[in-house]
């Protein structure tokens, strides 16, 4: 029987910023949070340069690009942020199945638009924006 080496480290949850105490094993397993790989984040001097505009859910949004340096960071989530994301994903899936995709333009009398409006209110409330 091969004994695995254990290493304890601490990382920050990329969503909420709380410290996560992780246990890493030599067989590449881990405990204490969820790992999603690496991602690049902008840092230092730079600005967002407008590239073009597009429509999303009936609203015009700008597509931008960061002109400065980027830093590679590991994407870790704590258990509670991961669970919240899972619940949001489940709710989004259920509403999508029952009412369909979001309409491109919001219509006050549309049942689909009303359902997605309720979804948005639930998400805003759970994130402390209401």
DSSP codes, the chain: -PPPPEEEEEEE-TTT--EEEEEEETTS-EESSEEEEEEEEEESS--EEEEEEEEETTEEEEEEEE-SEEEEEEEEE-HHHHHHHHHHHHHHHHHHHHH-SPPSS--TT-HHHHHHHHHHHHHHHHTT--
Q: What pTM was computed for the model?
A: 0.68
Query: Domain spans of the chain?
Result: 78-130
Model confidence over 32-77: pLDDT tens digits? 999 999 999 898 899 999 999 988 777 788 899 999 999 999 999 9
What does the pLDDT read at residue 8?
Answer: 95
Q: Is the pLDDT of residue 1 over 60?
A: no
CA distance 127 to 121: 10
What does the pLDDT read at residue 129?
Answer: 80
Model confidence over 73-130: pLDDT tens digits? 999 999 999 999 999 999 999 999 999 999 888 888 899 999 999 999 998 998 888 7
């Amino acid at each position: 029987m091969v004994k695995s080496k254990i290493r304890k480290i601490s990382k920050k949850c990329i969503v909420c910023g709380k410290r996560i105490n992780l246990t890493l094993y030599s067989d590449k397993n881990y405990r204490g949070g969820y790992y999603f790989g690496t991602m690049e984040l902008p840092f230092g001097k730079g600005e967002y340069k407008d590239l073009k505009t597009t429509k999303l859910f009936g609203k015009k949004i700008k597509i931008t690009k960061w002109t400065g340096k980027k830093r590679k960071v590991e994407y870790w989530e704590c258990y509670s942020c991961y669970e919240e994301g899972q619940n949001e994903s489940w709710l989004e899936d259920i509403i999508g199945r029952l009412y369909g995709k979001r309409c491109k333009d919001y219509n006050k009398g549309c049942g689909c638009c009303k359902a997605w409006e309720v979804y948005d209110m639930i998400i805003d409330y759970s994130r402390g924006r209401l």
